[in-house]
Structure 1
Amino acid sequence: MEFYKKSRVKDVAFRRILTLVLVTLLGVSLLVVLLKTNSYSNTISQTPDESNYISLGVKEITHFPKQTKLSISLEKMNGLPPRNLDIFPKLGKDHIPIVLYVHNRPQYLHVVVRSLSKVKGISETLLIVSHDGYFEEMNKIVEGIRFCQVKQIFAPYSPHLFTESFPGVSPKDCRDKDDPLEKKCNGNPDQYGNHRSPKIVSLKHHWWWMMNMVWDGLKETRSHFGHILFIEEDHFIYPNAYRNIQLLAELKRKKCPECYAANLAPSDVNSAGEGVNKLIAEKMGNVGYAFNRTVWRKIHLKAKDFCFFDEYNWDITMWATVYPSFGAPVYSLRGSRRSAAHFGKCGLHQGQGEQNACIDDGAVSIGVEEIDKDVNINPNWEVHVIKHQQGYRAGFKGWGGWGDDRDRQLCMDFTHMNHVFDKHSMAGLKN
């Protein structure tokens, strides 16, 4: 009996120890699961670059300039639904939204709108017109569009809306090559000693604000996972452009996995294309370019590179610092004949209101042949990759115009202003 009692005691003690060990193991396992779940939750509920904001050395909370009555009213207009829903109640399956960004060249806008009206398939999609500033004549042209759904958005922090304060011209701002200490003025010069020009910096501000709004801010597109096509007010669009970009977006994954985008025109704006029976992969051009949300996330991760590079042109900034940071060549797929053409003789914010205004029609010198009216890309064509092209090499520091800390911070504020990256948007990401 004594032996039996001792065995029972040992047996009970063993079971207690075993139970304790099992409970401990279960607790550890549960903790691991919770940590993984929390990690996954953080991943899908935040934008990928939010985890990097502390290391970026910028504010996580945005501090936008005080708005004017006009900018507030325009921002409210950004929430209005698209027009022409009574005519085009539904968008086409696998449609590619088109974003047209404009400033104040009504002569040019007339040309691009007329060309868009003749594009096959245009009624199936949504046209978003992004305005840098508010100009009545430009607004009237857009309000007159009746060939598709149209949504207008206005950059509320455009320098063109602020006449006496940043981001416009402030009375206390330094000008040209002013010495801040001597003049007792505000501002940081660029690498060449020049202080900011609101008219110039608005180019880059508008593009970055627009991208963040279209991809992450607008309810019409923030759940769109496919490609979005971007064009400017001085781009003539051929009748086959929409069908061609749809086909290129489909072919990109299959025939050019190293391609980040699809283009309607060569990167050389003066080229009409090679005219050969091949698809062309080359560096991304800025005339009629389209990419998807996966590529946007890669770009968004490079916000600091974009916002802190001393270069006022958005496209040169992308070519010189953002794309190279991806670690591999950034190719774009296109046809061998252009489906869009750059016809402007002046830059985006030049011409209007000046003595030598840019008022050329532009369409006169662009001939549309029969081959340009329908899809002219063969899915069976091979891809010719142009590997060595002229561009901005390592060490290029930019042309300047973007040295003021306020512009860099505003640019980063645009990066933070929308945080729409939940499990639904994560599920739709694809190459």
Structure 2
Amino acid sequence: MFGPVTNSTLVIAIQVHHRLNYLRHLIISLSEARSIDRTLLIFSHDVWNEDINKLIRSIDFAMVLQIHYPYSLQTHPYTFPGESSRDCPRNIKPDDAAKLNCINKDWPDLYGHYREAKFTQTKHHWWWKSNQIFGNLKITADFTGTVLFLEEDHFVTEDFIHVLKLMEKEQEGVAKEANILCLGTYLKKFNYKINSKQMEYYTKYVLKDFNKQGSVMAELTQWMSSKHNMGMALTRKTWNKILQCTNHFCRYDDYNWDWSLLHVSLNCLRDKLQTLMVRGPRVFHIGECGVHHKKKDCATSLVMNKVKYIIDSAKQYLFPDRLTIVESAVKKKVKLKKGNGGWGDKRDHSLCLNMTLGYQDL
């Protein structure tokens, strides 16, 4: 109905865990986007869930492919990369670990803690998925176009593809140094219940970037993991640069894929990663609960109300004619002192390294 895949096709890689409710919202938003019929949606799972599979199989507005991460906790519940009874407990002291003679006694992280499989899986999955798309899947084997990275708890505007195309055009001109295009933003400063008075803050802080003159602001700056990791889009050219730094990515003691990518940018690449980020966001984060959050109420309604309010209020500013690019210098030198830990186990290093299908700096 929609094929074939060409280099003008937008490939959208969506990392899926098990949050069906969030995923349903994302798929609805994708279905309402203009030009979605010219995309290939690749859903990458680390859990086999028939309800999720059924939902994805029901998609009839674009090309769809499902892939499944083969080293998941679901398929390896009692052996690595899951956790076995012989693994060291997270908080055991190295001396006690030696007495216990647990498998990974010699590999605590830089904070003296031992691996937790539920945290290491996300980085492994992201790296495996990226290597599959750029190096192993037949459908994308010769693909040189743009790959947009989303997650199950993201939500897109109806013009996100249109804006991405404008950004790609700028990459050919004044924004040539941009390696990564960024469509997303976080709403941390807006995490409170909605009422009419508080909604004025949305207009002041978010809608100001939806320019009324047929343009949307885009910022050209150095890529930062905490600011530019949502709605990332890149091409094989950029991926090949990252792949040359496989050793840095896989051995860096941080269980987060985005912080590991920042380490690659700052410590391996000749030129640091640069991003072109749209200030009027086209991708939103709606997941209040996940790996890093332990809130009791994980209902999506509050966040969805905030996101829908912003998008509805910006309706007249969607589908801009052009981008207005501003360069934003980094105020102070970015220095990544050390990672967040959780990635000291040499088994994780080996698994990560063995996923690469191209050249490595080993």
| Same fold? TM cut 0.5 | yes
Q: CA deviation at 1:386?
A: 1.3
Q: Match of 1:279, as an amino acid?
A: A
Matched, 1:222 2:136: no
Q: Paired residue for 1:405?
A: 346
Aligned to 1:428: none
Across the aligned residues of Structure 1 and Structure 2, the Cα RMSD in angstroms comes to 2.5
* Matching residue within 78, 98, 102 for 1:185: 102
Matching of residues 12-411 of structure 1 within 5 Å: 87-91=1-5, 94-178=8-92, 179-187=96-104, 188-266=107-185, 272=206, 274-276=209-211, 277=215, 278-284=217-223, 285-348=228-291, 356=296, 358-361=298-301, 362-366=303-307, 367=309, 368-369=311-312, 371=315, 374-379=318-323, 381=324, 383-388=325-330, 393-394=335-336, 396-411=337-352
Over 4 Å off, 4+ runs: 266-271, 348-351, 389-392
Deviation at 1:357, TM superposition (A): 5.7
1:280-326 Cα deviation digits (max 9, x unpaired): 11343111111111100000000010001100011111123434432
Q: Which whole-Å CA distance do the structure 1 matches of 2:13 and 2:33 have between them? A: 15
Q: Structure 1: 5+ residue runs without aligned partners?
A: 1-86, 421-431
- The total of aligned residue pairs comes to 326
| Distance change in 2, residues 1:329/1:322 (3 Å) | closer
Q: CA deviation at 1:250?
A: 2.2
Q: For the structure 1 residues 247 and 253, does the alpha-carbon distance in structure 2 shift closer, same or farther, using more than 3 Å as the test? A: same
Q: Judge which range, 233-242 or 272-281, deviates more.
A: 272-281
Query: Aligned pair in 2 of structure 1 residues 95, 336: CA closer, same or farther (>3 Å)?
Result: same
In structure 1, C-alpha distance between the alignment counterparts of 2:109 and 2:316, rounded to whole Å: 44
Aligned-partner Cα distance in 2 for 1:220–1:391: 41
Q: Unaligned stretches of 5+ in structure 2?
A: 190-204
The alpha carbon displacement at 1:328 in A equals 3.3
Shift of 1:92: 6.8
Provide Cα deviations, 1:184-221, integer angstroms capped at 9, x if missing partner.
Answer: 21112111111111100001000100110010011111
2:6 and 2:220 mapped to 1: Cα distance?
A: 28
Decide whether the 8 Å contact of 1:155 with 1:210 is kept in 2: yes
Letter in 2 for 1:170: S
The answer to which structure has the higher strand fraction is: 2
Task: Tell me, in whole angstroms, the C-alpha distance in 1 between the residues paired with 2:139 and 2:321.
Answer: 30
Q: Supply the distance in 2 between the matched residues of 1:159 and 1:121 (Cα, whole angstroms).
A: 36
Contact 1:96-1:246 within 8 A present in 2 as well = no
CA offset at residue 330 of structure 1? 2.2
**Displacement of 1:235 after TM fit?**
1.0
Distance in 1 (alpha carbons) for counterparts of 2:140 and 2:237: 14
After superposition, the C-alpha distances for 1:78-103 in whole angstroms (9 at most, x for unaligned) are xxxxxxxxx32445771211111111
Q: Is the 8 A contact 1:346 1:358 kept in 2?
A: yes
- Report % sequence identity: 30
| Larger of the two Rg values belongs to structure | 1
Q: In structure 2, do the counterparts of structure 1 residues 373 and 131 end up closer, same or farther at CA, with 3 Å as the change threshold?
A: farther
The offset of 1:399, in angstroms, is 0.9
Q: Note closer, same or farther for the CA distance 1:96–1:345 as it changes in structure 2 (3 Å cut).
A: same
Secondary structure at the counterpart of residue 220 of structure 1 = helix
C-alpha distance in 2 between matches for 1:237 and 1:389:
30
**Residue 135 (structure 1) shift:** 2.3
- Tell me if the contact between 1:239 and 1:372 (Cα under 8 Å) persists in the aligned partners: no
Correspondence for 1:45:
none
**Higher helix fraction (1 or 2):** 1
Task: Tell me the equivalent position of 2:194.
Answer: none
C-alpha contact (below 8 Å) 1:158/1:202 kept by paired residues? yes
Distance 1:117 1:198 in 2: 34
Task: Report the Cα offset of residue 106 of structure 1.
Answer: 0.9
Residues 348-380 of structure 1: CA deviation (Å, up to 9, x unaligned): 4766xxx9362314422112235478422515x
Secondary structure of 1:168's aligned partner: coil
Query: Following TM superposition, by how much is the alpha carbon of 1:105 offset from its aligned partner in structure 2, in angstroms?
Result: 0.9
Report if aligned partners of 2:170, 2:176 keep a CA contact under 8 Å in 1: no
Distance 1:175 1:205, change over 3 A: same
* Cα 1:279/1:286, change in 2 over 3 Å: same
Change (3 A) 1:260 1:330: same
Going from structure 1 to structure 2, the CA distance change for 1:356 and 1:269 (only over 3 Å counts) comes to: closer
TM-score, structure 2 as length reference: 0.83
Please give the TM-score of this superposition, normalised by the length of structure 1.
0.70
Secondary structure at 2:9 match in 1:
coil
CA gap 1:104/1:283 in 2 versus in 1, 3 angstroms? farther
Structure-2 separation of matches of 1:292 and 1:385: 22
